[in-house]
Structure 1
Amino acid sequence: MKEFKKLIHFTKGFGLIYVLGIISVIISQGITILNPLVLKTTIDSIIGERAVDSFTVSKIINFLGGRDELRGKLWKIGLIIICIALFRGVFLFLKNTLSSKAAEGIAENIKNRLYDHIQKLPYEYHTKVDTGDLIQRCTSDVDTVRRFLAIQLMEVIGSLFMLMFTLVIMFNLSTKMAMVSISVLPITFSFAIIFFKKVRKDFQASDEAEASLSTVLQENLTGIRVVKAFSRQKYEVENFDKKNKEHRDLTYRLIRNLSIYWAFSDFVSFFQIGLVLIVGSYFTVTGSITLGTLIAFTTYVNMLVWPVRQMGRTLTDMGKAFVSIGRIDDILKQPIEILSPTGREPIIYGGIDFENIYFAYDEGKYVLKDISFSINPGETIAFIGPTGSGKSSLVHLLPRLYEYNQGSIKIDGIELNTIDKYWIRKNIGLVLQEPFLYAKTIKENIKLADPNLSDIKVYEAAKTASIHEDIIEFENKYETLVGERGVSLSGGQKQRMAIARTIIKNCPIVIFDDSLSAVDTATDIEIRSALTARKDKATTIIISHRISTVSEADMIYVIDKGRIIQKGKHRELINKEGLYKRVYEIQSSYENRSKCI
């Protein structure tokens, strides 16, 4: 099956161990079938007078002292059975140990491969998938595959070899009894296959419902501040309850179908055992088979029937594992983002030229139309415009988070899409509108781009971002843990931390994507002044809705509906009729009223 082919890629370093586990389970099953033969020989040829029809068995009996000796010392037979059980136990131990070790190692390989692949997927992919679903695939689905390798696949292999060994011996003992013993097996096996195909869909539906439930939980915990602020607890509980009921109903349907299978297979299995006892008793009475053969068959039929019955359960578990393998493969087959396709890594000075740029997230629906402008190295330009006008989309093209559809973007005269993504991102500092902080210390968050940076550089970056004074007031100062997503900090503090983290990279191009909105006007001015005063002044692009933030830029561009509708310096734009002047008048009027109050 294709699922097994997919698994082979993850067995590196553990393939031999897993094969040894398979050999161990085969040997243990081969040893298991010896017990009924020992009992048959004891009843027929040691206690009874029937001649031994096997040269090997005859040699063993003679080695142990002969039939008369063993008839008086049956404890030796008991010792043989104990030895068989001991050897079987040793190989079962090896099977469990080796298969578990291999399964854990393979699961580790899968997790590492998934995590590595997810890191390399393009930004666009991450904007379209549910985080909860990704987590589900990287944890629950991987664990399902691990259990499949450690337990279920071993059971399938063990059952197949048990069936093969048992059938060979049964047909050697009595062909007609063997035919009776396997008469119902085709029904059991056929039902198991049909059931496997049906229940596989139920497993997938239950798994996807669980992923949806995980997504709801993840979003709720991540956005707990919003939930509390808007008193959405009741809505969130109702939403979770709805998803939880869907998961419950789908899982209940799965369990109900499993119950039907177990009930039917139990009936068929016990019917098979009863049939062997009835027919076998008749054959024994009529002399067609010996009593020892009947006892052997009653044991072998259990070895035959129960693996087939269990195979239905194992096949359903395999179905669930195959669904998980498919879900994992859905991620791995996504094309990764090639960060260094050409190896072109020019020195970046900060000159930027946009020429007739068109960009669309969906084909034909352009969010940017015929955008053209130029920035000289070290200049500061700003973009302002209504929400949804395309400002963020525009600056996301520079680090190549998205690729432009038409036109040309050049960095220092070099076409952007010919420069390696890794290199261009290394040379562009992007401060996003919604900063993300890790659950680490303040110092670790600021040094994220390069953990080897000196503390002095950390302090300088923090001062430039006007966050240093806040930090030294904390009890543990720069060693303060910020909590998950920076939950212990205010919105403005998180924003300034993100600015410090970007500044410390010392990039030739810095983009502020509405990232000064969470700070007050005075702090805004303080940060911009500090940036301007830096000796290694970078080309700076500012996106903002606040006129005061963009007013000192070397050039301001006003964007509306994906087009540049105005451009100029602050003084020029406030004296021209247009969107910029209207926004300026509204904000000035609001600020004046605030001062009066």
Structure 2
Amino acid sequence: MKSIKSLWNFMKGSRTIYLFGIISIILATFFTVLTPLFIRTTIDSIIGDTPISSVYIIKIINFLGGREYLKEHLWVMGGFLISLTLLRGIFLYYKSTLSSKSSEKTAKKVRDELYDHIQKLPYEYHVKADTGELIQRCTSDVETVRKFLAVQLVEIGGSIFTLIFVSYIMFNLNVKMTMVSMIAVPIIFVFAVVFFSKVKVAFEASDVAEGKMSTVLQENLTGIRVVKAFAREKYEIGKFDEKNKNYKDLTYRLIKLLAWYWGCSDFLCMMQIGAVLIVGSLWTSRGNISLGTLVAFVSYEEMLLWPVRQMGRVLTDMGKAFVSLKRIGEIFSNPIEIMEENHEKPRIEGNVSFNNVYFEYEKNKPILNNITFDVKKGETVAILGPTGSGKSSLVYLLARLYEYKDGSITIDGIELNKIDKKWIRKNVGIVLQEPFLFAKTVKENIKLSNPMMDDRKVFEAAKVASIHKDILSFENGYETAVGERGVSLSGGQKQRIAIARTIINECPIVVFDDSLSAVDTETDISIRKSLNLRRNLSTTFIISHRISTVCEADKIIVLDKGNIVQQGTHYELLKEDGLYKRIYDIQSCPHENYEYEMNLKNA
């Protein structure tokens, strides 16, 4: 019921169109079932002498010229039957057009709402989410729902109306003949339902195999440079061949099962039609039924059997559609990030204060504990520490990507959780450790936050990021397309373009999350010199493992296991016997430290 309710909600705005589609299938079915009835009338009452019992048919016969006229001009009945077929075709066209239009509008609405919802989900959700799974739910699952609305649900409606109309007419024509015509119908229906409930496993196995094959292909294309670097082409070809063969075998097995089903169901249907022909011919020869009635029953039998044998497949596909709706609903069940637009939007200067801040991802497993420090406007703060010490988590709290559990963070004296999230993220620029560039030009990537920005600012930001000269050396300069994920650029070039993209916004607080590690030492020095010239424009946080990168900072914070173990300037920390000095010694004299460690091992 929940799936049906959600589908009904998604159809808002296209329900009327779909209703007209259903009316069209009813009318198409009505004109379809009329055809054998008029063939029977032509054989029995126009060519033959059987009286016409239906008042409505008498009126139509009189409208067409009367019985005697039609007997001499049988082409009129032929033309009337062609008209019925034409009307059936017209309404089948509208059925397909209207149901497809409605289903496409519904699918578009689902995709739009899914994309909108995913965009508004919190950062924490995306960190844990499986990207491939999200893509599948936004594409394959939505397509399954669309096909259900456009084809399968309409087929169910058409089948139900066909069964109702045909059964009603058959029972009115001859009850005994109707009973003979329906002997195999329950058997075929049960056979179809049982078969498709069992073969569903084969469907799923084929889908899973296709997914695994696609994953291998996607991974190989994404990591093609790694494959080339390690000469793993032969291995990757073999791996893909294995997945491809498995997909082929499972799909072929599915095709064989379907061929077996259609062959068996065809045999049962032919047996049923044969029974109608044999019994009907016998009763016709004895005068129990007319020849026209026999012809009508044979026609109606075919109309009756096709939807019955299709019902198993349709019910299976309906089950798939409901599973897809459930998977889509699981995304919507995740609450979106509350942006708190009624919160404050103060002018951000860049004064930052942490006071006894506590943060955890999982309960009772602190990532940051008792973090306390102050930063004045325009200062540069460096954060140093081992992997997993909480460096990135600390700066992500500044952008409210995560919410601190206890303590206080203030910006210019205002509590951070009282400042509007969108506003704070516009004023806190983060250059991530792993830069992501879109498949656009260099200029478009730098101007990502504001496409209308003046080109002069683009050039200035590129100069600060020490990428301007590199860009000019490209064949098309700033109009050079960087390719998917910036594949045409080196790691350092991608990182510097990402830095330029953040700097151009002139945020009062800028965070470099280990984003200078991908550039060489000379470029690192050049970028930091440029940043020092802008020190009055923004407060800067630099996360790095290089002493050479952090040594010129106004304040250095050393983290270890979520705690601040040291805090001060470069020269102050060198006087202390602590983690900072140990890191400095290792980076200053790597050869001596290596020999020292080897002596310890050999001792």
TM-score tier, shorter chain, comes to over 0.9
User: Aligned AA for 2:71?
Assistant: R
Tell me, in whole angstroms, the C-alpha distance in 2 between the residues paired with 1:542 and 1:9: 48
**1:52 CA displacement:** 1.1
Question: Which residue in 1 is equivalent to 2:598?
Answer: none
Which residue does 1:440 correspond to in 2? 440
| Residues 132 and 211, structure 1, Cα contact 8 Å, conserved in 2 | no
Aligned amino acid, residue 532 of structure 1: N
Q: Distance in 2 between matches of 1:493 and 1:52?
A: 88
Report how far residue 212 of structure 1 moved: 4.6
Q: How much has 1:419 moved relative to structure 2?
A: 2.4
Identity %, equivalent residues: 62
Query: How far apart in 2 are the matches of 1:284 and 1:585?
Result: 108
Any stretches of 5+ residues in structure 1 without a counterpart? none
Cα distance change, pair 342–219 in 1 and its aligned pair in 2 (3 A): farther
- Residue in 2 that maps onto 1:571: 571
Conserved? CA contact 2:377–2:536, under 8 Å: no
SS in 1 for 2:553: coil
Q: CA deviation at 1:438?
A: 0.8
Tell me the residue number matched to 2:190. Answer: 190
1:426 maps to which residue?
A: 426
Separation (CA, whole Å) in 1 of partners of 2:250 and 2:565: 54
Q: Is the 8 A contact 2:343 2:418 kept in 1?
A: no
Distance 1:248 1:568, change over 3 A: farther
TM-score by length of 2: 0.92
CA offsets per residue over residues 351-372 of structure 1, 9 Å max, x none? 2222333333333333323322
Residues 419 and 117 (structure 1 numbering): CA distance in 2 closer, same or farther, change over 3 Å? Answer: same
1:302-321 deviation line (CA, Å, top 9, x unaligned): 11111111122222222332
Provide closer, same or farther for how the CA distance between residues 48 and 323 of structure 1 changes in structure 2, counting only shifts above 3 A: same
- 1:474·1:480 contact (CA, 8 Å) conserved in 2? yes
* CA shift for structure 1 position 349: 1.9
514-523 vs 144-153, which moves further = 144-153
Q: How does 1:43-122 map to 2 (within 5 A)?
A: 43-122=43-122
Query: Do residues 351 (structure 1) and 351 (structure 2) align?
Result: yes
Matched ranges for 1:373-384 at <5 A: 373-384=373-384
State whether residues 132 and 218 of structure 1, in contact with CA within 8 Å, keep that contact through their aligned partners in structure 2: no
Distance 1:266 1:241, change over 3 A: same
CA displacement at 1:582 relative to structure 2: 1.9
Deviation at 1:458, TM superposition (A): 1.0
Q: Distance in 2 between matches of 1:391 and 1:485?
A: 26
Corresponding position of 2:286: 286
The corresponding residue for 2:456 is 456
Report the equivalent of 1:262.
262
Alpha-carbon distance in structure 2 between the residues aligned to 1:524 and 1:449: 25
Q: Are the counterparts in 2 of residues 200 and 320 from structure 1 also a CA contact under 8 Å?
A: no
| 311-320 vs 41-50, greater mean Cα deviation | 311-320
- Is the CA contact 2:380–2:535 (under 8 Å) kept in the aligned structure 1? no
> How many corresponding residue pairs?
593
Q: Distance in 2 between matches of 1:20 and 1:186?
A: 31
Q: Name the CA distance, whole Å, in 1 between partners of 2:352 and 2:409.
A: 7
Residue of structure 2 equivalent to 1:520? 520
Pairwise CA distance, 1:185: 2.0
How big is the shift at 1:442? 1.1
Deviation at 1:245, TM superposition (A): 5.5
Instruction: Give the structure 2 partner of residue 39 of structure 1.
Output: 39
Q: Which string of whole-angstrom CA distances, capped at 9 and with x for unpartnered residues, describes residues 141-184 of structure 1?
A: 22222222222221111111111111111111111211222232
1:255-279 superposed Cα distances (whole Å, 9 cap, x missing partner): 4554454344333322222222222
TM-superposed CA distance for 1:524, in Å, is 1.3
Q: Aligned letter for 2:513?
A: D
In the alignment, what sits opposite 2:466? 466
Give the match for residue 310 of structure 1: 310
Structure 1 Cα separation of the partners of residues 205 and 319 of structure 2: 12
Residue-by-residue CA offset, 1:382-421 (whole Å, 9 max, x unaligned): 1112222221122222212222333332222333233222
Q: Could you tell me which residue of structure 1 aligns to residue 29 of structure 2?
A: 29
Q: Distance in 2 between matches of 1:191 and 1:308?
A: 10
Deviations 1:415-445 (A, max 9, x none): 3233222121111100001111111111111
Cα 1:208/1:344, change in 2 over 3 Å = farther
Match of 1:395 in 2: 395
Alignment of 1:499-514 (within 5 A): 499-514=499-514
Tell me: CA distance 1:417–1:262, structure 2 relative to 1, closer, same or farther (3 Å): farther
> 2:12 maps to which residue?
12
Q: 1:334 to 1:232 in 2, by over 3 A?
A: farther
Q: Is the 2:446–2:497 Cα contact (8 Å) retained in structure 1?
A: yes
- TM-score normalised by structure 1 residue count: 0.93
1:476-487 alignment runs, 5 A limit: 476-487=476-487
Task: State the AA in 1 paired with 2:38.
Answer: V
**Whole-angstrom CA distance in 1 between matches of 2:160 and 2:557:** 73
Distance apart, 1:298 and its partner CA: 0.8
What secondary structure does 1:138 align onto? helix
After the TM superposition, which residues 220-235 of structure 1 pair with which residues of structure 2 at under 5 Å, given as runs?
A: 220-234=220-234
1:492-524, CA deviations, whole angstroms, 9 ceiling, x for partnerless residues? 111111111101111111100000111122221
Q: Residue 195 of structure 1: CA displacement?
A: 4.0
Q: Classify the secondary structure of the residue corresponding to 1:388.
A: coil
The within-5 A match list for 1:321-332 is 321-332=321-332
For the residue of structure 2 that corresponds to 1:377, the secondary structure is coil
Q: Deviations over 1:459-507 (max 9, x none)?
A: 1111111111211222221111111111111111111111111011111
Of 16-25 and 422-431, more deviation after overlay is shown by 16-25
Q: Is the 8 A contact 1:356 1:408 kept in 2?
A: yes
**Aligned-residue CA RMSD (Å):** 2.4
Structure 2 CA distance for partners of 1:246 and 1:563, relative to 1, 3 Å: farther
User: What secondary structure does 2:559 align onto?
Assistant: strand
Structure 2 unaligned spans of 5+: 594-603
Q: Which residue of 2 aligns with 1:135?
A: 135
Q: CA separation in 1, counterparts of 2:38 and 2:403?
A: 75
Kept in 2, the 8 Å contact 1:348–1:411? The answer is: yes
Given residue 284 of structure 2, which amino acid in structure 1 is its aligned partner? T
- Asked whether the equivalents of residues 24 and 94 of structure 1 are also in contact (C-alpha less than 8 Å), the reply is yes
CA contact (8 A) 2:193 2:311 kept: no
> In structure 1, the residue corresponding to 2:366 is in which secondary structure?
strand
**CA distance, structure 1, for counterparts of residue 560 and residue 498 of structure 2:** 28
Once residues 345 and 240 of structure 1 are traced to their aligned partners in structure 2, the CA distance between those partners, rounded to angstroms, is 54
Match of 1:385 in 2: 385
Amino acid at match of 1:288: N
Report the counterpart of residue 154 of structure 1 in structure 2: 154
